[in-house]
Structure 1
């Protein structure tokens, strides 16, 4: 799995392309046209409805899709990474992937070529989402938002971005699959990720994935490719997740991390111990898990801790099964867990709290 956003020195690719084109030209050859019938340009009819629809989508959305340059835009102080972002609101906020904005400086390049410094005001690594604020508002309108909860496999989608630095490129495809899970931070995965066969390459990350009505239904974030380039399998963070997270990032700079405060044993450790589920290695004294009576592992005494085997009645086979359930229920809610304790199952109700910044946020004991 590779992020589709970071790429360096797109001019190198353009230079190579230019060299190939020049090499293919060679010396012009004279063409004898004496006696040949003059060629007439044939008039064509109206563009097909599907073509007109694609053109309309691009013309409407492209002015609100920007190039995100992370690093030193001059290129003198090191490598420069480039990805894509899109205008979120009239206040000058731009949404992109968190992995796109890793450099010390970030600049937004507008469709007309103007560069505007931007500040990263919020990050949610657990969803690979980041929000930037431009130094001044721009005239580009916010893209209309759709929903991702009613998508169907097979429906048309369109990706707009800056693959290899070639700005404002549109590609078309379909929703190839739904409900995928995409790893981000250790032990966490983005749930309900959209899979598409629309052409996505390095530089596309952070760009909008649109439906046939021109609404944003996802944000391009990664590709699966042995070569690092387009292989027909791309992934997008669902817009329902983005729409929930972005207002929190604008207001507070971070998104709450729903958790119960456990340190889980690494899956390989659990497997070696013959455990199927999430083995609780440790709980902190003030965590919701500790207050609910969950038990940690005592390796000195050879005593296994509780093994979480179900959450809200659904099987828990790995940590992401648990964290996805916690994200869905949200901070402030409660989760009903079934734990294997000794030789019996015990049902436990645990409060869900924001554990961002704690040592036990997404810790795995190896």
Structure 2
């Protein structure tokens, strides 16, 4: 007899998992409920909790009072600078001003002259100055001294007298003195940081490649946006302009530099008068220092003497090749008896001279050493 196929062709019924799913959901609800009531079960919460009684602080420490007063006195003189670029639409030719960068500065006098770093505004086509009261004014460029990273702006305050910053000196500073920096790091305006003078007589390089001598080193926090702002002593006097930092990341790393106020106080009035300070020089072009070193020399080798220059009138010579194909020319090795090992030494010695001053150059020539007097000219 054949077996029936009825049972064999029956479609199997899938297992019913709904019961397990329901049990899982119930377990989750129990866990969540337990988590909610856990604090009460274990006595963590207190329904009668109230704010703590305030402990009387007492008077501020004297150094805190002096810092607060210093900021109150100096901060109205510190400004926020926004440099702007002008962009023109190619189709409509409509020009718009677009923010390009920010920096700091300070009020030089009540007439609206503002001092900052040259690198803050060097690529700008326009600039705005925001005062401590948050009013914003369009600024005009008065002039600059790129070799010292200085620039002066002017705002028209419509007869309103601005609070000029108090000016101090930098020649009598000591390592260890407390200092204060006010500026706009990362756009946070009116920011105060404190520190000490970490070093004096440092040398940094300006955008033009010329050295800035006598720079103040500080550990007061200086970040992008602080550039152009004031460095103050404990009396609230300007002792430098915060200019540069040393940092692998580009942010504060404990080493900042400020151009000394004695340089600022000498050059800013000249910028206001002339647009750029008259700079004393020789009227020559030098070879780069690395070329001089390759030639086995030490000093500053004159490449070219400009026609009609003070150097030409004094008898200095341009470089040339002798009959043997060797470089021959005037190698400056001293100024008024002070040694010149490279171009930085020469710049340092000429920077403190004025147009019309006479200096004696010690010069090596193929025929020997000679002293030549030069009357410095305006560059």
Q: Give the alignment's TM-score, normalised by structure 2.
A: 0.81
The alpha carbon displacement at 1:35 in A equals 6.0
Q: 1:90 aligns with which of 110, 132, 146?
A: 110
Instruction: Report the equivalent of 1:148.
Output: 170
Instruction: Report the equivalent of 2:137.
Output: 116
1:58 aligns with 2:80: no
1:158 counterpart SS class:
strand
Give the 3 Å change call, closer, same or farther, for CA 226–343 of structure 1 in structure 2: farther
Pick which of 346-355 and 54-63 moved more. Answer: 346-355
Residues in 2 aligned to 1:64 and 1:234: alpha-carbon distance in whole angstroms: 21
The one-character-per-residue Cα deviations of 1:256-285 (angstroms, maximum 9, x if unpaired) are: 122111110011111111111111111012
Pick which of 191-200 and 130-139 moved more. Answer: 130-139
Instruction: Report the equivalent of 1:344.
Output: 368
Alignment length, in residue pairs?
A: 327
Residues in 1 aligned to 2:48 and 2:137: alpha-carbon distance in whole angstroms: 58
Residues in 1 aligned to 2:344 and 2:278: alpha-carbon distance in whole angstroms: 17
The alpha carbon displacement at 1:312 in A equals 2.4
Residues in 2 aligned to 1:232 and 1:258: alpha-carbon distance in whole angstroms: 36
Q: 1:107 aligns with which of 117, 120, 128?
A: 128
Instruction: Report the equivalent of 2:15.
Output: none
The one-character-per-residue Cα deviations of 1:320-343 (angstroms, maximum 9, x if unpaired) are: 211111111222212222111126
1:125 aligns with 2:125: no
The alpha carbon displacement at 1:135 in A equals 2.0
Residues in 1 aligned to 2:356 and 2:179: alpha-carbon distance in whole angstroms: 35
The alpha carbon displacement at 1:140 in A equals 3.2
Give the 3 Å change call, closer, same or farther, for CA 113–38 of structure 1 in structure 2: closer
> Could you list the runs of 5+ residues in structure 1 that have no partner in the other structure?
1-28, 356-366
CA contact (8 A) 2:111 2:162 kept: no
Residues in 2 aligned to 1:228 and 1:132: alpha-carbon distance in whole angstroms: 26
Give the 3 Å change call, closer, same or farther, for CA 187–230 of structure 1 in structure 2: closer
Q: 1:244 aligns with which of 261, 266, 273?
A: 266
The alpha carbon displacement at 1:295 in A equals 1.8
1:231 aligns with 2:244: no
Instruction: Report the equivalent of 1:309.
Output: 333
CA contact (8 A) 1:187 1:319 kept: no
1:329 counterpart SS class:
coil
Instruction: Report the equivalent of 2:52.
Output: 39
CA contact (8 A) 2:335 2:360 kept: yes
> Could you list the runs of 5+ residues in structure 2 that have no partner in the other structure?
1-38, 88-95
1:45 counterpart SS class:
coil
CA contact (8 A) 1:258 1:323 kept: no
- Structure 1 runs (4+) deviating above 6 angstroms are none
Instruction: Report the equivalent of 1:6.
Output: none
CA contact (8 A) 2:147 2:208 kept: no
Pick which of 135-144 and 345-354 moved more. Answer: 135-144
Pick which of 296-305 and 122-131 moved more. Answer: 296-305
1:354 aligns with 2:367: no
CA contact (8 A) 1:73 1:107 kept: no
Residues in 2 aligned to 1:187 and 1:123: alpha-carbon distance in whole angstroms: 16
Give the 3 Å change call, closer, same or farther, for CA 147–73 of structure 1 in structure 2: farther
1:295 counterpart SS class:
coil
The one-character-per-residue Cα deviations of 1:139-196 (angstroms, maximum 9, x if unpaired) are: 4310110011111111111110000000000111111111111211445211111111
1:330 counterpart SS class:
coil
CA RMSD of aligned residues (A): 2.2
Residues in 2 aligned to 1:178 and 1:330: alpha-carbon distance in whole angstroms: 25
CA contact (8 A) 1:131 1:250 kept: yes
Q: Give the alignment's TM-score, normalised by structure 1.
A: 0.84
CA contact (8 A) 1:184 1:190 kept: yes
Instruction: Report the equivalent of 1:324.
Output: 348
2:265 counterpart SS class:
helix
CA contact (8 A) 2:178 2:196 kept: yes
Residues in 2 aligned to 1:352 and 1:73: alpha-carbon distance in whole angstroms: 40
1:240 counterpart SS class:
helix
